[in-house]
């Protein structure tokens, strides 16, 4: 890429610059022109103003975009806060369930031990079966 194209302005900036330059030249010409010649100049300037009024308002669009971005950031912050609260609740539930889980495993071990103890006991002679 050569240096001439590396620093080119986007087309909208070039158009705006040319429009501004032409407006300044027309205004300067109007100051020097006789009163009779100002009517076409006034008409040209009014047409330029109407043309600019018909262009989409970039400022309003940027304001809307900024509001949308801010709303999305607030939404993400809200989701982050909800996730943090959920994580805290899950950690508490996990800590609460740990003793219950341990007790369940111990009771299963106790049951197996009791069943083995019953199996190793000699039969009761008074038992008919």
The confidence score (pLDDT) of residue 110 equals 95
The DSSP symbol for 2 reads -
What pTM, to 2 d.p., does this model score? 0.44
User: pLDDT grade, residue 3 (50/70/90)?
Assistant: very low
Is pLDDT at 4 greater than 60 in this prediction? no
3-state helix, strand, coil in the chain (%, to 5): 85, 0, 15
Give yes or no for a contact between 41 and 26, defined as CB atoms under 8 angstroms apart. Answer: yes
The confidence score (pLDDT) of residue 18 equals 77
**What H or E segment, with its residue span, contains residue 63?**
helix 58-120
Residue range 49-108, pLDDT digits in tens:
888 887 777 788 889 999 999 999 999 999 999 999 999 999 999 999 999 999 999 999
Residues near 99 by beta carbon (within 8 Å), at least 6 away in sequence = none
């Amino acid at each position: 890429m050569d240096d001439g194209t590396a620093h080119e302005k986007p087309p909208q900036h070039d158009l705006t610059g040319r429009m501004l330059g032409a407006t300044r030249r027309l205004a300067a010409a109007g100051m020097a022109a006789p009163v009779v010649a100002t009517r076409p100049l006034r008409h040209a300037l009014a047409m330029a103003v109407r043309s600019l009024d018909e262009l989409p308002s970039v400022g309003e669009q940027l304001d809307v975009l900024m509001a949308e971005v801010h709303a999305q950031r607030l939404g993400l912050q809200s989701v982050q806060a909800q996730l943090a609260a959920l994580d805290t609740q899950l950690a508490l539930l996990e800590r609460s369930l740990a003793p219950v889980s341990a007790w369940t495993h111990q009771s299963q071990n106790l049951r197996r031990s009791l069943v083995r103890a019953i199996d190793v006991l000699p039969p009761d002679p008074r038992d008919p079966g």
